[in-house]
Amino acid sequence: MNRDVMVSGRRMHACLLGGGDIPIVLLSGSCVPLPQVEYRPLTRALARGHLVVLLEKFGYGGSDATDESRDIRHVVEEYRAALAALDLSLPVVLAGHSMGFLEALYWTQRYPGEVAALIGVDPATPGCYQDFPLDRAVSQLRALSQKPLAQKLAADLYCRRLFRRQRIPREKRADLEAMALRSVSGTVWLAEAEALEGNLSAIAALPRPRTVPTLFFLSNGRGTSMSGAQWRQHGLDFLKGMAYGDHLLLDLPHNLYQLAPDLIAEKITVWLRRSGKND
């Protein structure tokens, strides 16, 4: 089921699948034009045993653009307002892919009573940004924001690859292509990148939620800016500070949620049951 909810006068798009008492809320990584399609293999697999809620943050997919700050404190409040508008009960399981894990982590730090468990789907942990070329990423996004033709080409290439991989019906493609172009040509991605350093400081200022059960799925690093060993080590180092941490190493690239959705969903279900967090 697709639903639009109003948050601060703007539409935020949500996809809800399955059923259960404790929702799994999936938060997108950065610069993903169509989260509702990108993560569909995983949301469908998880929905066999859980209520899954995919929130498309402002500037992504079917949600409105925004000129509001991309300060992580503000972004998390937008997510929380969306859950309230959807009338979803707390606590939830937060699952964040890539940079979406930072948002899930801050949410857990700020409101630990609202989070039953924390899942990183090949997460970008705070430590990995020590080795991330942030200045180069900001420069690239700033350059892209000034080139309409490059934006169109990037959106078209993304859609062609995604539609071929997921076999999207032709009658649905035009609307999705328009959403993708709107995301690529907006200013939200650049604002997120520019806010990242401050967001990492906001996370560092709060204690780590050590007692929240945490599960990581770690890739082989392909699709990130790091080697597999370097990327995985950042994830493993983060888990060392958690009282109830677990992980699964997968010899798959950063989009492992598309390549092994059934395996990931099965592991999450078993792990939540073992952690006493399953519905």
d(Cα 74, Cα 123) in Å, to the nearest integer? 21
3-state SS assignment for residue 244: coil
Assigned token pair, 5: 């909810």
Contact 77, 6 (CB under 8 A): no
Cα–Cα distance for residue pair 100/30, rounded to 1 Å? 7
CA torsion 205-223-53-211 (nearest 10°) is -40
Q: List the pLDDT tens digit at each of the 279 positions of the chain.
A: 899 999 999 999 999 999 988 999 999 999 999 999 999 999 999 999 999 999 999 999 999 999 999 999 999 999 999 999 999 989 999 999 999 999 999 999 999 999 999 999 999 999 999 999 889 999 999 999 999 999 999 999 999 999 998 889 999 999 999 999 999 999 999 999 999 999 999 999 999 999 999 999 999 999 999 999 999 999 999 999 899 999 999 999 999 999 999 999 999 999 999 887 665
Per the structure block, which two tokens stand in for 138? 């900001």
Spatial separation of the C-alpha atoms in residues 49 and 168, rounded to whole Å: 24
Distances 98 to 7, 50, 75, 145, 276 between C-alpha atoms, Å: 24, 22, 16, 22, 26
Phi first, then psi, for residue 205 (nearest 5°) are -75, -10
Decide: pTM greater than 0.75.
yes
Cis status of the peptide bond prior to 91, with omega within 30 of 0: yes
Fold of 2-274: Rossmann fold (3.40.50)
DSSP per-residue codes, 156-195: HHHHHHHHHHHT--HHHHHHHHHHHHHHHHSSHHHHHHHH
Looking at this protein, which amino acid is placed at residue 205?
A: A
Q: Output DSSP code: residue 225.
A: S
Q: How far apart are CA 247 and CA 251, in angstroms?
A: 13
Q: 3-class SS at 102? A: helix
pLDDT computed for residue 278 by the predictor: 63
- Reduced to 3 states, what is the DSSP secondary structure of residue 57? coil
CA distances from 276 to 71, 95, 119, 213 (A): 33, 17, 15, 10
Residue 120: in which H helix or E strand, if any? strand 115-123
